[in-house]
Chains A and B, each alone.
With several copies, the nearest count.
Chain A
Amino acid sequence: MATRVKQAEDRHSSLGLTDDDLLSMYRTMLTARLCDEQQFRLNRQGRAPFVVPVSGHEAAQVGTAWPLVRGKDIYVPYYRDMAVCLVAGFTAKDVFLGLFGKADDPSSGGRQMPAHWGSRRLGIITGSSPIATQIPHASGIAYAMKYRGEDSVVASWFGDGATSEGDWHEALNFAGIHKLPTVFVCENNKYAISVPLSKQCAVEELSVRAEGYGFPGATVDGNDVLASYEAMKEAVERARSGAGPTLIETNCYRFYPHTSDDDDRTYRSREEVEEARKNDPILLFGNYLKSVGITDDAKLEGVREELKAEVDRAVDEAWNAPDPEPESATRHVFAEGSGEGGPGGSSSPGDDEATSSKASGPLG
């Protein structure tokens, strides 16, 4: 998994990525990292009871989320995917509204734990805590896309732990049978909380399982945002062209404990964590940007300061936002009139609110 500082040759142009693309990818990765550092600070201050870290997964997430088309494709992330959601359109403030459980939390209005992402407007499917349950949803959305004749794609993200669940197997099998326009992305950080990969499976690479479902699998360096992007770009094109699903395994590492409730010293040595940090995806990407002359240390420092200020502002705004009304807890058990996602509604971003299914007829 070890990755050395990249050579100076240009690896991004051939991928169709401009210098600006690279810079905004870098900014997104760094924003996620800064939000992470902030949320742990807030946790220590007693202002955030529960934190789910992303640090270490930024390249895998930004690289695999980037090839999707906003406003058209669908994102089915899991709790670790802050950076996926930032790519999809979440703002730092949105992140902290969720962290503080505020009424304006776009995911759930303060109902769910932090990092349980969702936004119909942005095409991010609401997520739950039970591992792997979202993967069959992705297959179903992909089926609907194909059925409706869209040329859109849905991607789902999950950890290595999720691959052990029956739902994971059933979802991939269904997608393979119908050659659905979807990509399955495994963020393999080698642990399911404390359970090491060796106790989760008897294979070196989880991507080998794709063969059993009749579609290709690939394993890439998840610390390398360009490698992650390249693999995903191919998979998305494959899906969009009607050739079917792909399973992409991105090898990465979780720098912090599983959550603010975890103590990873019980199952990982500090040396192991330090070793992994040498491949910090943001560090590596920064080095690449410098090596190809897109930026320099001074510019990068400027970006960090600018983003840091933004994140601090987001924290203040979110902190001062209103809490949900206690009585609001009884709402939305069932639909409240046609304003809510009902028959005819769709996860597609931009789709207007659900129409009643009474208006039947042709699709669209």
Chain B
Amino acid sequence: MAEKNMVQTIHDTLHDEMKADDRVVVLGEDVGARGGVFRVTQGFLEEFGEQRVIDTPLAESSIVGVAIGMALHGLIPIPEIQFADFIHPAFDQIVSEAARIRYRSNGDFGVPMVIRAPWGGGVHGALYHSQSIEGFYGHVPGLKVVIPATPRDAKGLLRAAIRDPDPVMFLEHKKTYRLIKGEVPDEDYEVPIGKADVKREGDDVTCVSYGLMLHHCLEAAQKLQDEDGVSVEVVDVRTIAPLDKETILESVKKTGKAMVVYEDNRTYGPGAEIVATIAEEAMLDLDGPLVRVAGPDIPAMGFASNIEHFYMPDVEKIHAAMKELAEF
């Protein structure tokens, strides 16, 4: 048991997986000598060699497309997209190819690969280094999308993703890389893909979130507990797709009040499905309105601190919405 931050945990887990299985290769921009712009593959080139740690040309569509070919021929490629904002050129390879190869071949072929991408805002990244992309990819049958919020989950989900026979998108919130620390068990374990996790137990309100926002929700919940004695249950979705409805509905049925917090643009965003699911399957258990706290419907957060802050949901905004819902 050691305390680590997110980026260290992902680095160590990836390292151990590469050490244990030489079918695992990483490829992407600057993953070699540079060790990745966020240092996730630091030291990999020296230890595993350039055959397994592949600095690719600046071409995302082929980073994913080539990885698909590798996966079709016995390897377990782990392409890194340097920033989630730059995954868009690979949209076709991910949606039309990776996610459909098993289905279209009637199960004859499979694409075991893990697409890693740092996402999210609050890092002065402006329009093109801050984006949320889970709203797009959660809507793609054949693709699994996971978002760990803690080091413990990061290790378990990454190990599960690498062992998954199908393509998994593994999204790492940039802001959590060094900000979020936690105990990481030394032994090998997997966190099952498709299972949400109650990160804080509570009785009065259910707050569903993931990624950086989950931590804001936990902080807001604590504040509400301390100041008003309200007990909020915080559910970490962890897997965007396939979505674990059961855990969410169970909590809502217990508390009778639900809110969803996400950083992505509000409209047609991930929270819409979660709210819709609760509305459809737990309406009669609700004794309060369904609430969404999310990014505004503007193209992205700006660079200037104050316009970036304007975009990001923060503890205050979340706490205010929580309080209002609790008092309803």
Interface, chain A (partner B; CB < 8 A):
49-50, 74, 101-102, 107-114, 116, 118-120, 125-126, 128-133, 135-145, 147-148, 161-162, 164-167, 170-171, 173-174, 177, 192-195, 199-201, 261-262, 266-267, 323-336, 338-348, 351, 354, 356-358, 360-363
Given A116-B126, A170-B57, A343-B165, 4 more A-B residue pairs with CB atoms under 8 Å apart are A141-B70, A329-B310, A334-B144, A357-B112
Task: Report if B236 contacts A (CB, 8 A).
Answer: no
**Is B72 engaged at the interface, CB distance under 8 Å to the other chain?**
yes
Interfacial chain B residues near A167, Cβ < 8 Å: 61-62, 65, 89, 92-93
Closest CB-CB distance, A183 to chain B, in whole Å? 15
B303 contact from A110, A326, A336, A347, Cβ within 8 A: A110
> What is the minimal beta-carbon distance from A202 to any residue of chain B, in angstroms?
10
Q: Which residue of B lies closest to A106 (CB)?
A: B108
Cβ contacts under 8 Å, A133 to chain B:
65, 92-93, 96-97
Complex CA distance for A192 and B82, rounded to whole angstroms: 12
When the two chains form their complex, are residues A112 and B127 in contact, meaning their CB atoms are under 8 A apart? Answer: yes
Q: Is the CB of B109 within 8 A of A347?
A: yes
Please determine whether A111 and B303 come into contact, CB atoms closer than 8 angstroms: yes
Measured CA separation A172–B173 after assembly (Å): 33
B30 lies within 8 A of chain A by Cβ? yes
Enumerate chain A residues within 8 angstroms of B33, measured Cβ to Cβ: 194, 266-267
6 interchain residue pairs of minimum CB distance: A140-B69, A342-B165, A136-B65, A341-B110, A129-B128, A170-B62
Inter-chain CB contacts under 8 Å: number: 325
A100 → B minimal CB distance (Å):
8
Question: B residues within 8 A CB of A102?
Answer: 304
B interface residue numbers (CB < 8 A to A)? 20-23, 25, 29-30, 32-35, 37, 51-52, 55-59, 61-62, 64-77, 85-86, 88-89, 92-93, 96-97, 100-112, 124-129, 141-142, 144, 162-166, 296-299, 301-307, 309-311
Say which residue of B25, B55, B73, B126 sits within 8 Å of A346 (CB atoms): B73
- Give every chain B residue within 8 A of A112 (Cβ-Cβ): 104, 126-127, 302-303
Taking the nearest CB of chain A, how far is it from the CB of B146, in angstroms? 14
CB neighbours (8 Å) of A74 from chain B are: 73
Contact at A174–B56, with CB atoms within 8 Å? Answer: yes
Q: How many Å from the CB of A250 to the closest CB on chain B? A: 18
- What residues of A have a CB within 8 angstroms of the CB of B311 in the complex? 329
The CA-CA distance from A129 to B23 in the complex, in Å, is: 29
A173-B59, A330-B298, A341-B165 as given contacts; A130 in contact with B89, CB under 8 Å: yes
Contact B304 A111, beta carbon cutoff 8 Å: yes
- The secondary structure that dominates the A interface is loop
Whose C-beta in chain B lies nearest to the C-beta of A267? B33
Could you name 19 residue pairs across A and B whose Cβ atoms are closer than 8 Å?
A107-B105, A111-B103, A111-B303, A129-B128, A136-B64, A148-B74, A165-B89, A193-B29, A195-B55, A261-B37, A324-B304, A324-B306, A325-B306, A331-B106, A333-B299, A335-B102, A341-B110, A342-B165, A357-B112
With a CB–CB cut-off of 8 A, which chain A residues contact B32?
194-195, 199
Q: Which residues of A contact B21 (CB under 8 A)?
A: 357, 360-361
B102 with A130: CB separation less than 8 A = no
Query: Is the Cβ of A138 less than 8 Å from the Cβ of B69?
Result: yes
Partner of B102, one of A114, A129, A147, A341: A341
A164:B73 contact, CB within 8 angstroms: no
**Closest-CB distance, B64 to chain A (whole angstroms):** 8
B167 CB to closest chain A CB (Å) equals 10
Q: How far is the CA of A76 from the CA of B174 in the complex (A)?
A: 30
Contact between A335 and B165 (Cβ–Cβ < 8 Å)?
yes
Once the chains bind, are A348 and B108 in contact (CB under 8 Å)? no
Contact in complex: B108, A145 (CB < 8 Å): no
Structural contact, A324 and B297, CB atoms closer than 8 A: no
Q: Which residues of A contact B141 (CB under 8 A)?
A: 333
Does B76 lie within 8 Å of A195, measured CB to CB? no
Contact B29 A195 (CB under 8 A): yes
Known A74-B73, A130-B89, A137-B97: A360·B165 in contact at CB below 8 Å = no
Q: Choose from B57, B74, B166 the contact partner of A348 (Cβ within 8 Å).
A: B74
- Quick one: given A333-B141, A348-B73, are A327 and B108 in contact (CB under 8 Å)? no
Given contacts A125-B109, A136-B93, A333-B297, contact A116 B104 (CB under 8 A): yes
